[in-house]
């Protein structure tokens, strides 16, 4: 049955591209509140197509094909938050080299110790660590500091009734970029009983890829918001888990990462050198 089937290189490449695209889409929406919406949409489309194909309803098939265009456009509205976050992730990648920034190697440890102290003292805190997506728009709503991370500064910022204790802190490249910042509030139903700090932490993690640390002033419990989900931890191993989150959000690198421009220039130089060598060897 498959004797006349021929699969070429282009066919294999198209299959791989489709596989990578579908896999990336599933990983991106997994764990978000719209994952079930995507699953329901796929089931609806597959069911309609199978129904019209098996019973050979030509007229209904044309109507379904016509409606699929509007269903696809409606998915853009439903997933506008995820699409915006994905485009921000792509646009936030460093296409061109940045000037070298000296990172504070002990920033995750210092932040972890300060957050643990605030939790024991029942002092509310909200700290957002910038990753790929820029937080400059939220930084403009607060007071810019550009200060080194220190236990004393973090405690003094969040201790009431000092002027900067409301709002959140933004960390960038191992430094405190700004304090007293306003973050978007999440509308998730399961956060109805949570405080404004927790809802703001989840709201920022829905819009960006930042890791947001929250300390409850009522219970002293530490939580971490990432990718639209709030992770609550017990008191036994919270410091170890928090330190892993912070090291993931603030990886200390001995050298700056290779940018897309550097990668392209390196490979173009290798290609030109190879052709030059071949041209010299040709008589």
Residue 251 corresponds to which tokens in the numbers above? Answer: 């990886």
- Predicted pLDDT of residue 103: 47
Task: Give dist(CA 207, CA 145) in Å, integer.
Answer: 23
Give the pLDDT band of residue 29 (cuts 50, 70, 90). low
- Centre a 10 Å sphere on the Cβ of residue 150 and count the other Cβ atoms it contains: 16
Give the pLDDT confidence score for residue 105 in this predicted structure: 47
Write the CB contacts of 10 (distance below 8 Å, at least 6 apart in sequence). none
Provide the pLDDT for residue 99. Answer: 45
Residue range 125-146: mean pLDDT, rounded: 90
pLDDT at 243 over 60: yes
The per-residue pLDDT for 174 is 84
Tell me what pLDDT residue 118 has: 92
pLDDT, residue 187, reads 86
Mean pLDDT for the stretch of residues 252-256:
42
Establish whether the linkage from the previous residue to 206 is cis, with ω within 30° of 0: no
Distance between CA atoms of 214 and 197, rounded to whole angstroms? 7
Instruction: Report the pLDDT value the prediction gives residue 260, as an integer from 0 to 100.
Output: 56
pLDDT of the residue at 93? 54
Phi, psi (5° rounding) for residue 279?
-65, -35
Looking at 3.40.50.300, 3.40.1700.10, 3.40.630.30, 3.20.20.70, the CATH number of the domain 107-249 comes to 3.40.1700.10
pLDDT band at 115 (very low <50, low <70, confident <90, very high): very high
Task: Give the pLDDT band of residue 225 (cuts 50, 70, 90).
Answer: very high
Joined together, the tokens standing for residue 200 give 């703001």
When pLDDT is averaged across residues 39-68 and rounded to a whole number, the result is: 84
Count the neighbouring beta carbons within 10 Å of the beta carbon of residue 215.
Answer: 25
Confidence of residue 222 (pLDDT cuts 50, 70, 90): very high
Q: What is the mean pLDDT of residues 131-140?
A: 86
Mean pLDDT of 18-35: 73
Residue-range domain boundaries for the chain: 9-91, 107-249
Tens digit of each residue's pLDDT (9 = 90 or more) over 74-99: 877 777 777 777 777 666 555 444 44
Residue 281 or 161, more confident: 161
Q: What is the DSSP letter of 259?
A: P
**Length of the chain measured in residues:** 283
- Alpha carbon distance 50, 65 (integer Å): 12
Write the pLDDT tens digit of every residue in 155-180: 999 998 888 888 999 998 888 999 99
d(CA 228, CA 211): 10
- Kindly report the average pLDDT of the chain as a whole number: 80
Name the pLDDT band for 279 (thresholds 50, 70, 90): low
């Amino acid at each position: 049955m498959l004797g006349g089937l021929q699969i070429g290189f282009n066919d294999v490449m198209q299959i791989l591209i489709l596989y990578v695209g579908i896999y990336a889409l599933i990983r991106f929406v997994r764990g978000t509140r719209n994952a079930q919406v995507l699953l329901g949409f796929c089931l609806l489309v597959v069911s309609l197509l199978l129904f019209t194909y098996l019973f050979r309803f030509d007229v209904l098939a044309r109507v379904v094909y016509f409606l699929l265009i509007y269903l696809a456009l409606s998915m853009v509205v439903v997933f506008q938050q995820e699409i915006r976050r994905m485009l921000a992730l792509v646009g936030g990648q460093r296409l061109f080299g940045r000037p070298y920034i000296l990172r504070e190697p002990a920033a995750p440890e210092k932040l972890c110790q300060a957050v643990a102290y605030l939790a024991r003292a029942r002092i509310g805190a909200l700290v957002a660590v910038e990753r790929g997506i820029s937080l400059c728009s939220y930084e403009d709503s607060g007071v810019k500091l550009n200060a080194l991370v220190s236990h004393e500064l973090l405690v003094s910022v969040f201790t009431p009734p000092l002027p900067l204790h409301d709002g959140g802190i933004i960390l960038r490249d191992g430094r405190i970029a700004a304090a007293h910042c306003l973050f978007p509030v999440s509308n998730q139903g399961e956060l109805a009983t949570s405080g404004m700090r927790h809802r703001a932490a989840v709201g920022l993690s829905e819009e960006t890829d930042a890791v947001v640390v929250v300390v409850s002033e009522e219970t002293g419990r530490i939580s971490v918001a990432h990718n639209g989900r709030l992770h609550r931890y017990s008191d036994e191993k919270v410091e170890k888990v928090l330190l892993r989150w912070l090291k993931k959000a603030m990886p200390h690198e001995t050298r700056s990462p290779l940018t897309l421009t550097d990668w392209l220039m390196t490979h173009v130089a290798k290609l030109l050198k190879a052709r030059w060598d071949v041209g010299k060897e040709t008589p």
